[in-house]
Each structure stands twice: as C-alpha cells, then as structure tokens.
C-alpha cells in the first residue's frame, strides 16, 4: 500500500497556526487568486522550509472578494494565463527561499468547474505546466476532466479525498452552506480518513487550513495516515514485524491484533509488534487493524496495581548513588516513590520492562554485563527498571532484591503483562 499524504490548504489566513505545517506533508499555498500576497507566500514558504513540508501551488479563479468559491465565466485562454501568473509568482518566491514547488491543486470553485468542463481543465493544466513544468504532481478529484487533462500531458496525478468534508450517498461533497458540509469534530475527520484510505480510492487527503479546529483535525488525520504507512518487515513466510508509533497504547495493540481470526500469535515490544500467522491463510494487513484502533481508540481497562516488596541491598546501589550525586537512601526513595507501567515483556520469561524511571536516578547499563545475576534482583537501565525472574546473565545496575515475589509460573505464565501497574514497597 503506497503511503497516502496529507495535504493542507495554507497561506490563506493572517493568523495561521504554524503547527499545521508540521502535520502537512504537502502545503497548497494560496498564490493570489482567492487569497495570499507576496508577504503571506513568503511566510508560508519559510514555514515549509523549516518543517520539511512539500510545496504546492493553489491557484484559483481571480475572485478575492468571494474567496474563490464562486464560479466565474472566464475564457479558457484567459484562465490559463491567470493560473500561470499565480503559479509563476509562487515559483519565483519559492526559488528565493530555496524550496521547489512540486505540487499543484486548483482551489474552490475552479476545482469543481474545471473538473466538469474539459476546456477549463485543459486551461488549468496548461497554465500550471507553463509555470511549474512537466514534473509537477497534480492533486485533484479521483475522476473527471482534470484527471484526464493532467494525464494527457503526462503529469503525475494524486487522487484526493477530503477528511474534513461531509459526503452525499453518491460520494460527492455536501455543498458548503448545507448542514454537515464541513466537519469540525476531529474524531469524525479521523474516521473519514480511515474510511477513504482503506477504500483504496485516494492518494492524498485534504484538511482545509481555514476550517474550525483545523489543527486538531490535521493532527488526528496525520496520525491515522502515519499508522497506515508504517514500515513492515517480513520475518519469513509466516511472520512480519512493524514499527509502532509512540501514541498507540501497547496493550490495546496486543489485544486488537490477537483478536484477528487469522493471527496465530502476537508479540508486542516497546518499538515493534511481531505478528505470526498461517502462511496458507495470511491475515489482513495489520496496519489496517492499527488504523482502525487509531480512528476509534480502544477503552483500555485500568489494570490493578501490583505491589512488589523490595530490600534496597543491591551490589550496585552505592555506585548508582555516586553516579547521580545522591545518597543511597535518596536513590531508594526515588525508585520506590512512583508508579511504573509495564512497557514490554521479554529477554527472559516474565521479565517486565517498567517505565518511567525518575530521571534523577536514570543510569546507563553496565559497560561489562555480569555472567550471573541472582533471581529476583531489581535493576536499573536508562529509563527502565525491572525484576530478574531467574538467575541469568545481565547488564543492569542491581539496586535491590524483590521479596516474596514470583514473576513467572509454569502453569500460568508471566505475572506482569503489558500495561500492568507496579509499585515498589521498601522493606528492611
């Protein structure tokens, strides 16, 4: 599945929130027809340069009074010249800033009128090619005159959907001014984005920069798109691994992937998830499962608190205290004064990686690991702490020993699972 890009119409408002440029992968910059001037274009281009956002031209009918949302009767040759002039001004400024203009998308009424009228579509495409050249990617409707005109001259074409617009039963947009035409609830935009991408009919999704709640909607839509474009790696014929974004709750990821009927097993770590399946009946792309999880976040039940009694008697306790510039008692107090969450389980059966350790006592692993760490030793390594369930080699700083604790039982498995909460209680 090719990544679907988020494009945002920008450079239209004087008080535009720059966070929109961090979410946009393509910024369609107003270049004078419906909005924008030299100052606003420079501001938008510099924002693109700062955030690595790709630049697109956003020409319109010359109709600033009505923000380009009114269809005008313009001869094709005049329209071509108007579009070329708008794109040329943006291109000149972009050259000064040092960013290329690689995309083009008509705005508002021109977008819809040109898609109905082949002569107008050819005029728009002609004007864009005159100013931007044949290497530009044209963003437009999934079908219609604009697509045909762009393809006729060899332009790359990105089919567009609108995450922040409501649609009629036939799939067309609800006209502006009618109820439901413009969405302002981020969750609806998120669900819209997931539906459009999974339908396979779009290459890019749009959020309008002047819509109410545009920043929140852009953030939610971008997260869905990022999940759907996660990098996957084959681990043979019956398994694959994918990188997990930080925001997805790991227990919810585990439960969502394991619930799929064709998945045999799932292992979730801090950064990755591995999915195992029957090669004769592979499951749905796990990115789709996680995309739905992102669009409709699971309600994760708060896990019970597990209290682990410990003695702060580890062989590295004094060295840790010296390393961080605190007393032994302070290290023990900081370690036992916060609630931890199981971030992943691995290395040994029942070994739970617990985070986050107080930054004041975070220390790196030992430069030379021990060949044998006693069972139930409590260690520190960076932002993680954990309990060794069995005697084993290990490189964590040993600061304590768990008392009356069993991390793994042969009959029931690991005591601690993803998302479980843990509190250490100091005993003498």
- pLDDT mean over 53-65: 97
User: Which pLDDT tens digit goes with each residue over 134-180?
Assistant: 999 999 999 999 999 999 999 999 999 999 888 776 667 777 778 77
Same domain, 168 and 260: no
Last residue of a domain, one of 265, 295, 325: 295
Domain assignment present for residue 264? The answer is yes
Whether residue 400 contacts residue 378, with contact meaning beta carbons closer than 8 Å, is answered with yes
pLDDT of residue 428: 84
Same domain, 414 and 344: yes
Domain that holds residue 115: 5-228
299, pLDDT greater than 70: no
Lowest mean pLDDT among 206-220, 295-309, 327-341: 295-309
Domain assignment present for residue 133? The answer is yes
Same domain, 126 and 250: no
Same domain, 76 and 210: yes
Domain assignment present for residue 217? The answer is yes
**Residue with tokens 């008692």, as numbered in its chain:** 329
**Residue with tokens 């060949």, as numbered in its chain:** 371
Last residue of a domain, one of 228, 243, 273: 228
Domain assignment present for residue 374? The answer is yes
Q: Tokens in use for 293?
A: 């999880």
Same domain, 223 and 278: no
Same domain, 309 and 244: no
273, pLDDT greater than 80: yes
- Specify which of 87-91, 234-238, 257-261, 288-292 reaches the highest per-range mean pLDDT: 87-91
Domain assignment present for residue 213? The answer is yes
Helices (H), 60-117: 76-97, 108-116
213, pLDDT greater than 80: yes
Collapsing DSSP to helix, strand or coil, 209 comes out as coil
Domain assignment present for residue 300? The answer is no
Nearest to 5 by CA among 295, 247, 272, 207: 207
CATH of the domain at 119: 3.20.20.370
pLDDT of residue 422: 96
Domain assignment present for residue 222? The answer is yes
pLDDT of residue 126: 98
**Kindly report the CA angle at 113 between 151 and 55, in degrees rounded to 5?**
60
Tell me the backbone φ, ψ of residue 413, rounded to 5 degrees.
85, -155
Whether residue 55 contacts residue 27, with contact meaning beta carbons closer than 8 Å, is answered with yes
CATH of the domain at 327: 2.40.100.10
Q: Tokens in use for 326?
A: 């605190």
Report the relative pairing of strands 339-345 and 370-373 from DSSP bridges.
unpaired
CATH of the domain at 272: 3.30.70
Whether residue 139 contacts residue 56, with contact meaning beta carbons closer than 8 Å, is answered with yes
Q: H-helix or E-strand containing 128?
A: helix 118-132
Domain assignment present for residue 318? The answer is yes
Same domain, 275 and 406: no
* Number of separate domains in the chain: 3
Same domain, 247 and 102: no
Same domain, 80 and 217: yes
Same domain, 213 and 105: yes
Last residue of a domain, one of 244, 269, 295: 295
Residue predicted with more confidence, 298 or 161:
161
Same domain, 145 and 43: yes
Report the relative pairing of strands 54-58 and 101-104 from DSSP bridges.
parallel
Label residue 23 by pLDDT band (50, 70, 90).
very high
Q: pTM of the full predicted structure? A: 0.75
Same domain, 221 and 261: no
Q: Tokens in use for 402?
A: 């768990």
């Amino acid at each position: 599945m090719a990544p679907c890009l988020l494009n945002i119409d920008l450079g239209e408002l004087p008080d535009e929130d720059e966070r929109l440029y961090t979410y946009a992968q393509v910024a369609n910059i107003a270049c004078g027809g419906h909005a924008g001037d030299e100052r606003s274009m420079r501001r938008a281009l510099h924002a693109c340069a700062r955030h690595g956002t790709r630049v697109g031209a956003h020409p319109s009918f010359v109709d600033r009074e009505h923000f380009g949302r009114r269809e005008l009767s313009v001869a094709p040759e005049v329209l071509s010249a108007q579009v070329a002039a708008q794109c040329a001004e943006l291109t000149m400024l972009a050259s000064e800033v040092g960013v290329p203009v690689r995309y083009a998308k008509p705005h508002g009424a021109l977008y819809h009128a040109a898609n109905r009228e082949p002569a107008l579509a050819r005029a728009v495409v002609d004007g864009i090619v005159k100013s931007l050249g044949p290497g530009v990617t044209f963003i437009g409707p999934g079908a219609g005159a604009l697509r045909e005109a762009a393809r006729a001259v060899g332009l790359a074409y990105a089919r567009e959907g609108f995450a922040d617009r409501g649609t009629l039963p036939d799939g067309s947009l609800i006209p502006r001014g009618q109820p439901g035409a413009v969405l302002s609830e981020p969750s609806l935009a998120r669900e819209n984005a997931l539906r459009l991408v999974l339908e396979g009919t779009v290459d890019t999704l749009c959020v309008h920069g002047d819509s109410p709640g545009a920043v929140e909607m852009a953030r939610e839509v971008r997260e869905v798109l990022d999940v759907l474009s996660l990098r996957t790696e084959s681990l043979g014929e019956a398994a694959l691994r994918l990188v997990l974004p930080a925001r997805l709750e790991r227990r919810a990821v585990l439960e969502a992937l394991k619930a799929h009927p064709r998945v045999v097993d799932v292992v979730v770590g801090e950064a990755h998830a591995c999915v195992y399946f029957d090669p004769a009946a592979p499951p749905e792309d796990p990115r789709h499962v996680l995309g739905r999880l992102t669009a409709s976040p699971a309600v994760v039940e708060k896990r019970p608190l597990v209290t682990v009694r410990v003695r702060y008697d580890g062989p590295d306790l004094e060295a840790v205290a010296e390393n961080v510039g605190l007393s032994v008692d302070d290290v023990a107090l900081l370690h036992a004064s916060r609630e931890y969450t199981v971030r992943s389980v691995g290395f040994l059966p029942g070994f739970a990686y617990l985070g986050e350790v107080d930054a004041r006592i975070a220390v790196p692993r030992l430069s030379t690991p021990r060949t044998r760490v006693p069972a139930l030793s409590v260690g520190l390594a960076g932002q993680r702490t954990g309990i060794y369930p069995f005697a084993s080699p290990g490189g964590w700083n040993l600061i304590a020993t768990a008392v009356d604790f069993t991390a793994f039982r042969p009959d029931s498995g690991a005591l601690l699972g993803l998302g479980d909460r843990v509190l250490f209680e100091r005993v003498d």
